[in-house]
Amino acid sequence: MQVTLLGTGDTTGTPTVGCECETCQRAKEPDDELLERAREQGATITAGGGVERTRFSVHIYNERTDETLLVDLSPDFRQQFLREEVPLPDEAIISHIHFDHLDGLGNCFRLIEDLDVHAANETDPETGKSVAETVQSDYHYLDQIEVRPQTPLESFEACGFEVTLVPVDHPPLVCYGLVVEDPETGAKLALSGDTSYDIPEASRDVLADPDLLLADGIVPAQLCEYHPMGGAHHDDDGTPRTFGTKHMTREGALSLAEDLDATETRLVHIAHYYSADEAFEQPLALDGERYQL
């Protein structure tokens, strides 16, 4: 299982369009120290000589079957695939219907002949539709895709992997993390999805003991003071593990990794609100990182 982090940023990415903050400027014009660290992480240096976090997407290649599974289709789909030179997907999974995880699906037009798109079949009280039904209705014009509704917490096969969608907490919409396992090697990749720290126990049981955990860690906990709703799910020291209601803090994501006994953890869905001194430190991921499981 070869895992490539195509997109590791939040809704606006880093650098953010029109932003002149120190973090975005450093991403565009990194110093030698940052460039060396990025290369050590396996991150991709852009054509302009910078580093970046485009919108979230993960490329998973099955070397046994020569198939590619794509988790979420970023609006930056074209840029990501040109930059990383990885194979186009044979199948895909949509975690939830926010645009930064879904809007890249339109790129299938004239690029991909057939694509099975897996998504949860649970009805969302907020929309009256499941994720699968929303994908089907919003992209009805794409003859190339076949939506495959899946029941959360029940495994299904995709690209030779065993995949399980797990409910997480990303109000007001339903949202799912997932586990991808190789049935022959036992390699296990877990993705938290966009979520608060309040992940149900049944989902945590499925996510547990991964070789690699990709966990939503949008901002450091100290920034909760600037969120209108503050922070939530505080630890014993009073540190918020949730930023507002929808995403984990860095500290929450690392707490989750400890809870799940993850062998290795990378934080994703990262905002440009991290300070320039923190934004490019491990375990925060950068686009282009590759992992062999």
pLDDT at 139: 96
pLDDT at 165: 98
pLDDT at 276: 96
Taking the C-alpha atoms of residue 97 and residue 256, their distance in angstroms, rounded to an integer, is 24
Taking the C-alpha atoms of residue 223 and residue 214, their distance in angstroms, rounded to an integer, is 21
Identify which of 71, 32, 72, 30 has the alpha carbon closest to the alpha carbon of residue 52: 30
Read off the pLDDT band of 73 (50, 70, 90). very high
Instruction: Convert the pLDDT of each residue in 100-152 to its tens digit.
Output: 999 999 999 999 999 999 999 999 999 999 999 999 999 999 999 999 999 99
Read off the pLDDT band of 266 (50, 70, 90). very high
Residue identified by tokens 């539709």 is 129
Instruction: Convert the pLDDT of each residue in 188-225 to its tens digit.
Output: 999 999 999 999 999 999 999 999 999 999 999 999 99
DSSP H helices, the chain, are 22-28, 32-41, 77-84, 99-102, 131-138, 201-207, 250-260
DSSP codes of every residue in 107-122: GGTTT-S-EEEEEE-P
pLDDT at 14: 98
pTM score: 0.97
Average pLDDT, the chain: 97
pLDDT at 118: 98
116 contacts: CB under 8 Å, gap ≥ 6: 90, 91, 92, 145, 146, 148, 158
> Contact, 217 vs 246, CB < 8 A?
no
Instruction: Convert the pLDDT of each residue in 96-108 to its tens digit.
Output: 999 999 999 999 9
pLDDT at 33: 94
Q: Report the pLDDT averaged over residues 38-52.
A: 95
Instruction: Give the burial string for 211-244 (b: 16+ CB within 10 Å, else e).
Output: bbbbbbbbbbbebbeebeeebbbbeeeebbbbbb
Pairing of strands 57-62, 290-292: unpaired
DSSP H helices, 237-288, are 250-260
Question: How big is the chain, counted in residues?
Answer: 293
